[in-house]
Amino acid sequence: MRLSTEYFPVMRFATFALLCLCLMLGSGTVAAVPTADLPPNFQVELIAQGMTAPTAMAFAPDGRLFVTEQGGNVRIITADGTLLSSPFLTLNVNAVGERGLLGIAFDPDFATNNYLYLYYTTSTAPIHNRLSRFTANGNSVVAGSQVVLLELDNLSSATNHNGGALHFGPDGKLYVAVGENAFKPNSQVLTNLHGKMLRLNKNGTIPTDNPFYNSASGKNRAIWALGLRNPYTFAFQPGTGLMYINDVGANTWEEINEGAAGANYGWPDTEGMHNNPLYENPLLAYPHSGGTFFGCAITAGVFYNPTTVQFPPFYLGKYFFADYCQNWIRTYDPVTRTSTSFTTDTRPALVDLDVAPNGRLYYLSRGYGSNTGAVYDIFYSVGAQPPTITQHPQSQTVAVGENVTFTCGAQGGEPLSFLWQRNMVTVNARQSSYTVANVTMADNGAKFRCIVSNNDGSVNSNEATLTVINGKRPNAVITTPILGSTFQAGDTISFAGTATDVEDGTLPASAFTWEIIMHHDAHTHPALSPTNGVTSGTYQLSTETHDDTNIWYRIHLRVRDSSGLTRSTYRDVRPRVTTVTMRTIPAGLQVRVNGVPYNNTVVIPEIINTSWLIEAPTPQIIGDMNYVFDSWLHGGLSSQTVSIPSTPTIYTAKFFGCPILDPSAPLEAPQRNYFTTRTPTLTWGRVSWAAGYWVQIDNQADFSDPEYSNNTIDRLSQSVTVGDDLRDCLYYWRVRAKTASGNWGPWSTRDTFVVDAP
């Protein structure tokens, strides 16, 4: 998803939130949709299922629903709920992590021009995200109709925080949400498109009334707003044009922001509510734990303002939004600025919301694993509430002697009753699940269905077929990595395994499927997509920083024997962690780590070998003192990239402090080389053989770019004019002498002087 925190969003797909963003996508068992927590008279029904890793959806004007799959397919669900087997189109995309096919929008004039727009990650180097226009012809794309409208900036090795949502605004312009590619400083500059909301004409040109058109250059003129982390989704309110942007957070807060031209939403300097006047405050921020409600990644949002109103009038104008990890949907009232629960449990990994032409609320569930993506709708039903099936029992394959359980999910008016049938004959089962114990070959081919009833009617589920194999499941063993293995950033993780089967013997490579999932707090991000046909391999880890160290990689192995029976196992690889202390001399000044400011000594846990950008902003004013960066105690420039070592480390930034003097106040005992004039006179000692002198002055210790240099001096003093910025109060200077033959001697020892002048 365009999420979370550091890989898929939670990525676009939570850090994480992911991601990050930020991030969140993993494997597991699909759960039934709970039925009891919708408001009275609301019901949910399954529209279509069987999609793989869906990322976004959009209704065509004729009622068809188009769904994008991360792997590059665009699928069509017809108005009667049929998922067409043939994709509308298939793109070659890079779908690693949170990359892939991520966004879709229809042209406002689709009925006449058949244009639709897609946002996806290119599959060839340099890897980057792309915005393209395509032309539809019925249920398929016109071959060769792609028109590339915008090539976004190249991506780093980080695969998360891509954004990707697309919508046309009421002004007829195309708006594009872009994540910051897991590099925080991207969000606050106008020199790239990462961490921004973009605004384009339909043909890909840039409107001249964009807020940064005259201050940015090239394609960066498309920037409409900045300071975003991973805006996975956003929405316009029909009729008013009000725009809400959902920004997936890092460790603490998820945000709903009001879209505005030229706005700066503060990432990475702020997250959640704040008092910084430089940045916009979110309309709503909810935490990752505690509070009235919490979650991990805000991944969907839509205003309820349909032409055909199906919900009660209370819901008109409300903003529906959803959380990826907690699987709830809530409403936000733009008038009262309050939020209310709508449902606390949907199908897993909800990634998009939309309102259908008939006024029903649709939601898109990514699911966990292949072909588990599904679309559901929520509708309002007055009076009778007959049951509906929310999860049909699934066909299963087992070995002789194993147990197998079939499950049926349903909702409707309470109480619900369940009745199971085997081959159309009722069996003694009255629960939502039915188990066949110790299966035999006589059970092979049996068909099971569930009949759900209440006082308002009954409904039959689809039939599920039981396949029984006269054999044993294969055994799978992960030999590499071993138990207790650890990693540090930038490592190459090797994996290998063996598999045997009672009937087949040693299984070949074709029987193996590997997958690596990155776990981050309570959510997951895909790392290595399912890979078939190898018994071993490697996966390269990034050195990109994470928002915390609660991260590990789970290596999954699934093997299949010739009869179709499978066995799965996994192995976890945990991080090697150290601590980094950031401090300043004198204490209390600011340093930045990957764009995040710290104003006091702080101890930060981090995975070994992670790459950090550390900065010592200069100058800094505190009270009546100006502080100018002098040095890092470990060396290097004020802004530098470091690799976190294996042992606890302290990074200390040293500053030189200069008092801000009142020009009218008398100086008391001025120190040597302390000047209160902007044109100080420097003096030096005579060299007996000197025919001239060369003086250099710089406000940096390395003299890489001297502010003053004069090699024609033939006297023992020189009046100089220092820099224009009074806060550059500390200066370094040196002098060298020249012989009568024109040869220069060595530079003198570096000396300093201070200027504090009006």
SS3 for 263-322 is CECCCCCCCCCCCCCCCCCCCEEEECCCCCCCCCCEEEEEECCCCCCCCCHHHCCCEEEE
The pLDDT value given to residue 60:
96
Contact 534, 514 (CB under 8 A): yes
Mean per-residue pLDDT, 650-658: 89
pLDDT at 150 over 90: yes
Q: How far apart are CA 199 and CA 196, in angstroms?
A: 10
For the residues of 702-736, what is the DSSP string, one character each?
T-SS-SEEEEEE-SSEEE----S-TT--EEEEEEE
Average pLDDT over every residue of 684-708 = 84
pLDDT at 414: 75
- Average of pLDDT values for 423-430? 85
- pLDDT band, very low/low/confident/very high, at 756 (cuts 50, 70, 90): low
Could you give the CA distance from residue 25 to residue 349 in angstroms, rounded to a whole number? 8
> Does domain 42-380 match CATH 1.25.40.10?
no
* Stretch 542-562: mean pLDDT: 90
Strands 577-585 and 649-659 come out as parallel
* Cβ count within 10 A of residue 745: 15
CA pair distance 584, 653, nearest whole angstrom: 5
How far is residue 515 CA from its own chain's centroid? 21
Asked if the domains at 401-469 and 577-659 fall in one CATH topology, the answer is yes
The predicted model gives 124-131 an average pLDDT of 96
Per the DSSP assignment, residues forming a β-bridge with 569 are 557
* Residue pair 273/282 in contact by the 8 Å Cβ criterion: yes
* Amino acid code (one letter) for 122: T
Mean pLDDT value of segment 244-255: 94
Q: Structurally, what CATH architecture does the domain formed by 401-469 represent?
A: Sandwich (2.60)
CA dihedral (121, 127, 129, 135) positive or negative: negative
Sheet holding 319-323, edge to edge: 298-303, 319-323, 329-333, 338-343
pTM over cut 0.85: no
Q: What is the CATH number of domain 674-755?
A: 2.60.40.10
Is 546 considered catalytic here? no
Whether the predicted pLDDT of 404 surpasses 90: yes
CB under 8 Å to 143, separation ≥6 — which residues?
A: none
Over residues 381-410, mean pLDDT? 90
| DSSP-derived secondary structure letter, 110 | H
Question: Do strands 492-501 and 505-506 pair parallel, antiparallel, or not at all (unpaired)?
Answer: antiparallel
Question: Given pLDDT bands bounded at 50, 70 and 90, which one contains residue 340?
Answer: very high
Look at residue 3 in the predicted model and tell me its pLDDT: 35
Q: Among the ranges 645-649, 666-670, 736-740, which has the highest mean pLDDT value? A: 645-649
Q: What does the mean pLDDT of the chain come to?
A: 88
As a whole number of angstroms, the distance between CA 615 and CA 595 comes to 8
Higher pLDDT, 592 or 662: 592
Q: Which residue has the higher pLDDT, 588 or 707?
A: 588
CA 746 to chain centre: 55
The class (CATH top level) of 577-659 is mainly beta
Query: Over pLDDT 90: what percentage of the chain?
Result: 67
CA 573-575-579 angle, 5° bins: 170
Annotated active-site residue in 161, 392, 520, 546:
161
- Pick the range with the lowest mean pLDDT from 202-211, 363-372, 673-682: 673-682
Mean pLDDT of all residues in 63-73: 96
The pLDDT, as a whole number, for residue 319 is: 97
Position 331 pLDDT exceeds 80: yes
**What's the pLDDT at 739?**
87
Residue owning tokens 């299922």: 49
Spatial separation of the C-alpha atoms in residues 287 and 291, rounded to whole Å: 7
pLDDT for res 352: 97
Give DSSP secondary structure letters for 63-102.
Answer: S-EEEEETTSEEEEE-TTS-B-SS-SEE--B--STT-SEE
pLDDT confidence bin for 532, thresholds 50/70/90: very high
Q: What is the largest CA-CA distance in the chain?
A: 116
User: Domain extents for the chain?
Assistant: 42-380, 401-469, 485-561, 577-659, 674-755
Q: Give exposure, 297-311, as e/b (b: 16+ Cβ within 10 Å).
A: bbbbbbbbbbeeebb
pLDDT at residue 596 is higher than 90: no
Q: Which of 332, 254, 178, 343 has its CA nearest to residue 523?
A: 254
